[in-house]
Amino acid sequence: MHEKLSPARLEELRKMDRAHHLHPFTDHAAMHPTGTHVITSGEGVYLYGEEGKLLDGLAGLWCVNVGYGRKEIADAVSRQIRELSYYPSFFNTTTEAAVLLADRLGRMAPGNLKYAVFSNSGSEANETGLKIIRQYQILKGKPNRTKILTRNYAYHGVTLATASMTGLPNCQQPFGLPLPGFLHAPAPYAYAVGREKDAEAYGQECVAETKKLIEKEGPDTIGAMILEPVQGAGGVIIPPAGYLAGMRKLAREYDILFVADEVISGFGRMGCWFLSEMWDLQPDLMILAKGLTSGYVPMGATMVAQPIAEALMKGGYFAHGFTYTGHPVSAAAALANLDIIEKEKLVERTKDKTGPYFQKKLREFAGHPAVGEIRGMGLIGAMELVPKGGRKELKPGMNLGILGAAKVRSEGAIVRGIRDLLAFSPPLVITEPQIDEMFASVRRGIDKLWD
Q: Which residues are near ligand PLP by CB under 6 A?
A: 61, 121-123, 126, 155-157, 228, 232-233, 261, 263-264, 289
Q: For residue 354, what is the DSSP state?
A: I
Minimal distance, residue 327 CB to ligand PLP, in Å: 15
Is 285:266 a contact under the CB 8 Å cutoff?
no
Output the smallest distance, CB 274 to ligand PLP, in A: 13
Which residues of 50-120 form beta strands (DSSP E)? Answer: 52-56, 113-119
- The DSSP result for 195-251, as a single string, is -GGGHHHHHHHHHHHHHHHHHHH-GGGEEEEEE-SSB-TTT-BPPPTTHHHHHHHHH
Count CA atoms within 13 Å of residue 317 on its CB side.
5
Nearest alpha-carbon partner for 155 in 351, 290, 296: 290
Residues 290, 57: Cα–Cα separation, whole Å: 15
Q: How far apart are CA 206 and CA 214, in angstroms?
A: 12
CB of 294 to ligand PLP, least distance (A): 13
Cβ proximity to ligand PLP, 195 vs 269, nearer residue: 269
CB 40, min distance to ligand PLP, A:
23
Cα distances (angstroms) measured from residue 269 to each of 180, 207, 218:
34, 26, 37
Nearer to ligand PLP, 109 or 446 (CB): 109
Nearer of residues 230 and 346 to ligand PLP, judged by Cβ = 230
Residues 6+ apart with CB under 8 A from 89: 95, 98, 118, 321, 325, 326
Smallest separation (angstroms) from ligand PLP to the CB of 2? 27
Q: Quick one: 264 or 403, whose CB is closer to ligand PLP? A: 264
Give the Cα-Cα-Cα angle 359, 361, 366 (nearest 5 degrees). 90
How far does the chain reach from its first CA to its final CA, in angstroms? 37
Q: Least distance to ligand PLP from the beta carbon of 371, Å?
A: 24
Q: Which is nearer to ligand PLP, 165 or 371 (CB)?
A: 165
Nearer to ligand PLP, 128 or 434 (CB): 128
Residue number with CB closer to ligand PLP (161 or 289):
289
Return the number of the residue (150 or 434) whose C-beta is nearest ligand PLP: 150
Q: How far is CA 255 from CA 145, 220, 252, 412, in A?
A: 10, 8, 5, 50
**Minimum separation from the CB atom of position 261 to ligand PLP (A):** 5
Query: Considering the complex, what minimum distance in angstroms separates the CB of residue 267 from ligand PLP?
Result: 13
Distance CA 116, CA 330 (A): 14
Question: Per 3-state DSSP, what percentage of the chain is helix, strand, and coil (rounded to 5)?
Answer: 45, 15, 40
